Amino acid sequence: MGRLLEFFERRKYEVLLVALLQHLFIGIFISDHVSYRDIIWPINMFLLGLACTGIFLGKNRWKAWIKNLLFILVVLLPVGISFVKDVRLYFEVLNIIYVIFFSFIFYEVVKFLVKPSYIDTDVISAAACGYFLLIEISVFLLQLMIYNDPHAFHGVDMRDSASIYMDLVYFSSVSMTSIGFGDIVPAAHATKLVTSVLGILGHFYTVVLVGIIISKFTSRK
């Protein structure tokens, strides 16, 4: 157990980066959305929760307590999807918890990026984690808006929760990178504004990150 915790602490950002990538993009390899929703998603969230362990080692007790509580919720909530089916309130609560969970991790990652005056693999991995965490936050925030208003977007596959999630991963990714193919577009006033804010945040993160990395190189020299 001690060696495992040591590994998570030493490689925390690399482990988190791998967990985020598989959580966001494992749908590339899965065509059965029911299996994805009922089996893969809960397993993914369990792995993602474990991947966050290293980031919170040595932190204040209250932070570890909040992380553990959120971890339990984000693992258990997907399990209930197969039972509640189309209960809108359940999906709204799920998305709120997920936004809080990923925002909590994002805050810790950004704190680390600002702190050290050097460049190493941890800094590079943490920078990538921050970007993918922004996509996660965007996905679940927009998903919350869809469950509140099914007409919030044009072009999103509304067949089931897995389809909605995968389409929003795609939409959030192309919006953050300013590709914007236009096959999925916000239709409601609120979603247009929120999408605009998320796009600005993505660019702001990139600009600030470049500034941080340049300052670290300068400090090192």
Number of helices (H), then strands (E), in the chain: 11, 2
How many CB atoms neighbour CB 103 within 10 A?
Answer: 15
Contact criterion met (CB below 8 Å) for 5 and 53? yes
**Per-domain residue ranges for the chain?**
2-220
Please give the pLDDT value at position 146: 95
H or E, element range at 38? none
> In this predicted structure, what is the pLDDT of residue 2?
62
- Per-residue tens of pLDDT for the chain, all 221 residues: 567 667 767 788 999 999 999 999 998 888 888 888 888 888 888 888 888 878 887 777 888 888 889 989 988 888 887 777 668 889 899 999 999 999 999 999 998 888 766 777 888 899 999 999 999 999 999 999 999 998 999 999 998 888 999 999 999 999 888 787 889 999 999 999 999 999 899 889 988 888 877 776 666 55
The answer to whether the pTM exceeds 0.95 is no
How far, in Å, CA of 165 to CA of 146, rounded?
A: 10
Confidence at residue 173, expressed as pLDDT on a 0 to 100 scale? 93
